[in-house]
Amino acid sequence: MDYQYKDVFSILDSPCIIDKFRNSISIFKEKKKIIRILIPGCGSNTKIQQLCYSIYKENIDIYAVDWSEEAIAIAKKETNLLNIPVEYINCNFNCLPFDDDFFDIVIISNSIVSDSHENNINALNEFARLLNPDGLITGNFPCAFGMFDYALTSGLADHWLTTGIVDIISRTVYEESQDMHQRFFTPLELFSVCKEMQLKIESMNILFYDGADFAQQMSTLYQLPYNENFSLWGLYVNIKKYTL
């Protein structure tokens, strides 16, 4: 089963995360052409759209996709208020109405989070199809090992240590507070899956979800008093196509 979020958990209010995105997204800044950007699973937080616009000004076409109508309505209202042109598309990002090689940048912010490995692979395959040969897929992926580390260090998600952070049969992480399973890539698995799709991981870093906003979201989620030490990590990757 897949979940359709309305009130979406987002890491995008942490300045350190936005900084990371800024570096990668700026890659085509010197190119004198319109840069086409895809934001699959954009959710309701518009920080990525704002960032793209601040880097490329009018030289971009931004397409933001989510299957949650409510999330899109919130995002649309905000970018309209800010006068940032964005084409919102309310659909499943595993099958998108664009030609091959259409996009220069695909920005993934914690959006490949299905409980089905097959769905996650299909999504990546679709983004690979849409990426032009010089293009960049950039963004962050939750990591099961990050969740485990988080349970050990924050004491917030004790259930991951008792009833099991990873269900071995389905290979999913169970998130008790939201009652959902999510199938996360391990670093090696992501590397192998990309290789099969003729995608090359150019860099893979640990990205710490740190800062007051993240800590606040965690304390709200777990209904615990605010603690500035609540932090988590995921994988930040830059991916390109193999060129002959």
Ligand X SMILES: C[S@@+](CC[C@H](N)C(=O)[O-])C[C@H]1O[C@@H](n2cnc3c(N)ncnc32)[C@H](O)[C@@H]1O
**How is residue 58 annotated by DSSP?**
T
Measured from the CB of residue 30, what is the shortest distance to ligand X in angstroms?
27
Residue 190 binds ligand X, judged by CB under 6 A: no
Q: Out of 24, 49, 79, 109, name the contact with ligand X by CB under 6 A.
A: 109
Q: Out of 45, 49, 79, 138, name the contact with ligand X by CB under 6 A.
A: 45
Alpha helices in 131-230 (DSSP H): 144-154, 159, 187-196, 212-222
- Which window, 1-9, 20-28, 53-61, 155-163, contacts ligand X (CB under 6 A)? 1-9
71's enclosing H/E stretch is helix 69-81
Q: Exposed e or buried b for every residue in 152-171, given b needs 16+ CB within 10 A?
A: eebebbeebeeeebbeeeee
Q: Out of 35, 38, 42, 51, name the contact with ligand X by CB under 6 A.
A: 42
Site for ligand X in 20-39 (CB under 6 A): none
Residue 184 binds ligand X, judged by CB under 6 A: no
Residue 86 binds ligand X, judged by CB under 6 A: no
Measured from the CB of residue 91, what is the shortest distance to ligand X in angstroms?
7
Spatial CA neighbour of 9 closest among 230, 240, 218: 218
Spatial CA neighbour of 175 closest among 152, 155, 159: 159
Spatial CA neighbour of 240 closest among 153, 141, 128, 151: 128
Kindly tell me which of 43 and 135 has the beta carbon lying closer to ligand X.
43
- Which window, 27-35, 110-118, 164-172, 216-224, contacts ligand X (CB under 6 A)? 110-118
What sign results for the dihedral spanned by CA atoms 101, 120, 52, 138?
A: negative
Binding site for ligand X (CB under 6 A): 4-5, 8-12, 41-43, 45, 65-68, 71, 92-94, 109-111, 113-114
